[in-house]
Amino acid sequence: MTWEVLSMIGTIAFAVSGAIVAMEEEYDILGVYILGIVTAFGGGAIRNLLIGVPVSALWEQGLFFQIALLSITAVFLFPSNLLKHWQKWGNLFDAIGLSAFAIQGAIYAANMNHPLSAVIVAAVLTGIGGGIIRDLLAGRKPIVLRAEIYAVWAILVGLSIGLKLVTDPWELYSLFVVVTVLRVLSYTFDWKLPSRRLSAQ
């Protein structure tokens, strides 16, 4: 049940996030739907390839596709006078999607008895994969490649679940809330990882 709820939360959040980015880039309605769907399911597809799950498993998630389509439609029909706040809401939905999908991916790998390294990779790819594809298709520099703290929170999820520090449903939901809050705080207060620039000659 926890896995399904988190999958639903992540699907809605990333579908909305993809649709928001598409509308910011002034895509037409087809582009909005495509970017929303790719954002919602791209990370799961990449994860499945790497941990040995047939990619065709995605097509068995009919309910989630319907939820994603409904979420994208709701965003597209949203009153135009509220679109000014999309940047703030886009970041929030992205944080929710990152947290939910990272936990979902880690649970998926842990249930297949994969080692800790695979659980961490599954958490990271599920959490950030859709966002990377979204940003690349929108012609943006992916958030995860900037100094801004992003993928670190997915790694934290993978460690927590891979080491069995978090197992019960209430612990998983608490982890979801904590990671979402940490992601919101990291972009609100501009927390950054160390970076190094090469000076132009």
CB 105 within 8 A of CB 122: yes
The burial of 170, by beta-carbon neighbours within 10 Å (0-12 exposed, 13-18 middle, 19 or more buried), is given as exposed
Q: What is the largest CA-CA distance in the chain?
A: 57
Q: How far apart are alpha carbons 27 and 25 in whole angstroms?
A: 6
DSSP type of residue 199: P
What proportion of the chain, given as a percentage, has pLDDT over 70? 92
pLDDT in tens, 162-201: 999 998 999 999 999 999 999 999 988 888 888 777 765 5
How many residues in the chain? 201
- The type of residue at 187 is Y
Give residue-wise pLDDT tens across range 8-42: 888 998 998 899 889 889 999 999 999 999 999 99
In terms of Cα–Cα distance, which of 24, 162, 11 is closest to 98?
A: 11
In the chain the beta strands, taken as DSSP E runs, fall at none
Q: What is the pTM of this model?
A: 0.86
pLDDT in tens, 107-127: 989 999 999 999 999 999 999
pLDDT tens for each residue of 132-146? 999 999 998 887 777
